[in-house]
């Protein structure tokens, strides 16, 4: 088994079950995550018996980086999994540090009509080791510390909820990846029951919602998930999340020409979220040859932004980091075989 497939609790339990002590798990984890020692034989404070047990039963195995595309603001990594499926992650170099956008599934079943990722149906969920592996292999390859993580890559994270919960535990554990809860963001297209479950975890982890429309009529057209969970239900779940966590929710809104970018849409969106602890991230759409949808022009985006502002909505226009890499929203797709990003 790969060591990255364990949370600390799980490794403790595993070692105890095999006749070792609870603290042995912390020793091993510290060697790997803190001291960057990736060979059990070099973990000098472990007993001989424990070293041979680890060598026989555990691996410290990285994901295989197949391809890297670099640009000044973002790098894209194509990674190969053990079963030869491929995923991607994107490293963004912000003025506040390095942020890694990780994938949660191979493919995605949510079928959002503007999204490259949804063109490849879900093959399977990523394991914990594959979620963690994205962070480990990019940190190692670039020799950097990653400062924040967004789970917004290929797949719907809440459709892989159990592993995302375990990933949160590994990322935020100060003996493991050690990134504060407030520097971790999970993005969902709106799986309402999971929003409630996530809220009940009462973590400080951020939540982002891919809303992309101010009403059900438009959302039904561009996001299949809206057939299952209407906007009113999503907003109710978000109210619950805010009441439990007092954390601000990010509303992601891709600007699609002639679809969701009218002044009326801006007024409707303002009304929908007015007075709520939310802020809107307007995302210029990255056109691809696979869809007919067009990006709203800059004038429309500015006008939409101004209307939200004038209605006292917190709003930003997302800086484009990876457009020239096909690494931006909905475009993260491996040309070799096809995979993508929210």
Q: Which two tokens stand for residue 194?
A: 């999971």
- Residue 323 CA: distances (Å) to CA of 76, 95, 137, 331: 11, 18, 23, 8
Q: Which two tokens stand for residue 80?
A: 């190969």
Q: How far is CA 233 from the centre of its chain?
A: 23
Are residues 29 and 176 in contact, defined by beta-carbon separation less than 8 angstroms? yes
Binding mask 1-30 for ligand SF4 (x = CB under 6 A): ------------------------------
- Residue 87 CA: distances (Å) to CA of 59, 74, 122, 144: 21, 17, 12, 21
> Is residue 115 part of the contact set for ligand SF4 (CB under 6 A)?
yes
The residue (of 176 and 184) whose beta carbon lies closer to ligand SF4 is 184
Q: Which two tokens stand for residue 170?
A: 């590994």
Q: CA angle 91-211-229, nearest 5°?
A: 125
Torsions phi, psi for 70 (to 5 deg):
-115, 145
From the list 49-57, 79-87, 113-121, 285-293, the region that binds ligand SF4 by CB under 6 A is 113-121
Least separation in angstroms between CB 101 and ligand SF4? 11
**Segment 156 to 185, residues that bind ligand SF4, using CB under 6 A:** 156
For this structure, is 88 an active site residue?
yes
Least separation in angstroms between CB 306 and ligand SF4? 26
Instruction: For 129-151, give the DSSP string.
Output: HHHHHHHHHHHHHHT----EEEE
Least separation in angstroms between CB 179 and ligand SF4? 22
From the list 111-119, 161-169, 171-179, 283-291, the region that binds ligand SF4 by CB under 6 A is 111-119
> Is residue 234 part of the contact set for ligand SF4 (CB under 6 A)?
no
- Residue 232 CA: distances (Å) to CA of 131, 172, 216, 260, 333: 32, 32, 9, 18, 32
From the list 53-61, 109-117, 132-140, 310-318, the region that binds ligand SF4 by CB under 6 A is 109-117
> Is residue 112 part of the contact set for ligand SF4 (CB under 6 A)?
yes
The residue from 75, 85, 99, 117 that contacts ligand SF4 (CB under 6 A) is 117
Contacts (Cβ under 8 Å, ≥6 apart) of 38: 32, 60
Binding mask 78-107 for ligand SF4 (x = CB under 6 A): ------------------------------
The residue from 29, 43, 78, 108 that contacts ligand SF4 (CB under 6 A) is 108
d(CA 127, CA 132): 9
The residue (of 158 and 304) whose beta carbon lies closer to ligand SF4 is 158
List the catalytic residue out of 12, 88, 116, 130.
88
Contact residues for ligand SF4, defined by CB under 6 A: 108, 110-112, 115, 117-118, 154-156, 189, 210, 342
Catalytic residues: 88, 329
């Amino acid at each position: 088994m790969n060591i990255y497939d364990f949370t600390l609790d799980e490794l403790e339990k595993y070692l105890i079950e095999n006749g070792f002590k609870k603290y042995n798990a912390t020793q091993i984890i510290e060697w790997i995550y803190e001291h960057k020692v990736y060979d059990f034989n070099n973990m000098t404070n472990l007993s001989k018996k424990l070293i041979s047990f680890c060598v026989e039963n555990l691996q410290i195995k990285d994901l295989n980086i197949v391809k890297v595309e670099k640009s000044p603001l973002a790098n894209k990594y194509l990674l190969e999994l053990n079963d030869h499926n491929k995923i991607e992650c994107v490293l963004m170099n912000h003025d506040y540090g390095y942020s890694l956008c990780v994938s949660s599934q191979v493919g995605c079943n949510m079928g959002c009509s503007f999204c490259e990722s949804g063109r490849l149906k879900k093959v399977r969920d990523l394991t914990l080791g594959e979620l963690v592996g994205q962070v480990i292999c990019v940190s190692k390859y670039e020799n950097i510390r990653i400062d924040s993580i967004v789970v917004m890559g290929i797949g719907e994270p809440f459709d892989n909820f159990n592993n995302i919960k375990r990933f949160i535990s590994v990322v935020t554990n100060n003996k493991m990846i050690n990134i504060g809860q407030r520097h971790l963001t999970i993005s969902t297209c709106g799986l309402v029951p999971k929003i409630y479950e996530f809220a009940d975890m009462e973590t400080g982890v951020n939540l982002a919602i891919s809303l992309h429309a101010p009403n059900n009529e438009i959302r039904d057209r561009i996001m299949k998930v809206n057939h299952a969970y209407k906007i009113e239900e999503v907003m109710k779940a978000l109210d619950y999340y805010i009441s439990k966590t007092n954390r601000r929710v990010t509303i992601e809104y891709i600007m699609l020409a002639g679809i969701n970018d009218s002044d009326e849409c801006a007024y409707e969106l303002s009304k929908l979220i007015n007075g709520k602890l939310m802020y809107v991230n307007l995302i210029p759409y990255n056109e691809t040859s696979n869809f007919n949808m067009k990006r709203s022009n800059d004038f429309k985006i500015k006008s939409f932004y101004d209307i939200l502002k004038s209605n006292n909505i917190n709003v930003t226009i997302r800086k484009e980091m990876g457009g020239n890499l096909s690494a931006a929203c909905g475009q993260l797709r491996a040309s070799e075989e096809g995979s993508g990003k929210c």
